[in-house]
Amino acid sequence: MALRDITRVEVLRAIEECDRLGRDAFLRAYGFGEARRLRLSYEGKLYDSKAIVGAAHGHLPGRSALAAEEFSGGVATVGSLLRQLGFAVVDTGAGHDDGERGPALEYSAFEAAIADLRMRSTRQGPALYQPILLLWAVGRARRGDSRLDTWSTTEREVGRLLSQHGARGERPRPDYPAAALHRAGLWDMHDHRGPVPSAHGDNNIARWFATHQPRTGLPLPVYERLRDSASDRARAVGTLLTYFDGVDPQAVRALLVDVGLDEEATHAPAGANGEVPHAVRVAAQYDRLCRSVERDEAARRGRRVPRQSQRPLRSAPAREAVLLRCGGRCENPRCPGQPDDRTDAGQPILEVDHVVEITADGRDHPSQMVALCPNCHAVKTRGSTREAFRAELLRVAARLHQAIRPEPGSGTRAETAPAPGSTSASASTPASTPTSASTPAFPSVTASERGGTAPGA
């Protein structure tokens, strides 16, 4: 083993492998846990430094990856190596009296990290401890308040915010998010001795903060960027607000006003009820979701989920009969218009649908089946009015079936029926419905019954 043999090339290959597999799969593959202190910052993303170095060793010619127990992941080994190779390393370890913590956190890394915060889940969504603490700090930066403040001030002010604006059972305990963000490299702590505890263990963490009384706040480069750039502030606020999805917009607005960020909330036009700007929230949430997709994309590629299903047998003649009956038109009487395009085989784009599913004791028979265009089929399947729509389609299917194949004794004869789409034998055939020997006759069926656009639709 020789860490000094690792070059920037091997580290970049390990980073690419981590991106391809996804963080969790990468750590499992090499037998590493999450970094407790040092994280490598590269192109706006944070990586577990020791795991990256261990994997990088395996990219050396004739070498294998290093196991976690084979080397130290401390500042003097992994941290020193990565910095010598030109990488930025975020040190989330214990604070020092002189405030030195190694190379500063890149702002791009901060942006990436707040878009992917690890938070406790509740039934309503993620707990809001960390977003509320960060919004408070962004508000301080906007006003030009001191970057670091005493723990007593932080505890009082953020505790009040959590009590008044916590929407998912948050307690007035800013020590939780402060410890969690510090461990993630997003929160500075100074004037204390010994390591900062993890955000677990109710009594231990409360006792540690009460004893050490650290000065805390945003990392210096982050603070300066958020203080000086309105666009960066608005983007950061928008990212943090994505964690408030489902919270009453008026309550979110009240929180933003309370921390002095009401102008950031109106960076994009606000809604009529003063809700959080839609454009800011959508852009930030879209970015967060894309980052999540990209993190796991390589690990999903080529994988398949095995499924076992049992589908009911369906009658091919029944489907063919419905397609024959519809004459190439959607059978919804109020269809707003089916696609003009056709399939590769030149057929109309239609779905033959069982109005009452076979699995729900429906008949696999044309009298309970309709031909629908994709839009009408989607409404029937997923629309909010689908139940009333299904009842109507069931009547339509029965009426269209009866018109062509009447019950014995009804006195209706298909041979003497008018042409499709007309109400009398003398009516002209619509241009959209071709006439040929193969076109069926439809006794007493109006254009609207056959799926033409209803008046006023």
Q: Give pLDDT, residue 435.
A: 34
Of the candidates 142, 181, 95, the residue with the CA atom closest to the CA atom of residue 267: 142
| In contact, 88 and 38? CB cutoff 8 Å | no
Q: To the nearest 5 percent, what fractions of the chain are helix, strand and coil?
A: 45, 5, 45
The b/e string for 256-273 (b: 16+ C-beta within 10 A; e otherwise) is bebbbbbebbbbbebeee
Mind listing the pLDDT tens digit for each residue in 412-426? 444 333 333 333 333
CA distance 384 to 444: 32
Residue 119's pLDDT band (cuts 50, 70, 90): confident
Q: For the residues 309-333, what does the mean pLDDT come to?
A: 87
Whole-number pLDDT of residue 288: 61
Question: pLDDT, tens digit, for every residue of 98-110?
Answer: 333 444 466 777 8
- Tell me which of 34-38, 101-105, 170-174, 443-447 is least confident: 443-447
Which residue has better confidence, 440 or 344?
344
pLDDT in tens, 46-77: 889 999 999 999 999 888 999 988 888 777 78
Would you state the pLDDT for residue 405?
A: 85
Q: What is the pLDDT of residue 70?
A: 86
> What is the per-residue pLDDT for 218?
93
Non-local (6+) Cβ contacts of 346 within 8 A are: none
**CB 187: neighbour CB atoms within 10 A?**
23
Question: DSSP labels for 248-301?
Answer: -HHHHHHHHHHTT-HHHHTSS---TT-PPPHHHHHHHHHHHHHHHHHHHHHHHT
**Backbone phi, then psi, for 239, in 5-degree steps?**
-65, -45
Residues of the chain with pLDDT > 90: what percent? Answer: 35
Burial of 75 (0-12, 13-18, 19+ CB in 10 A): middle
What number is the average pLDDT over the span 82-106?
A: 60
Lowest pLDDT segment from 337-346, 402-411, 431-440? 431-440
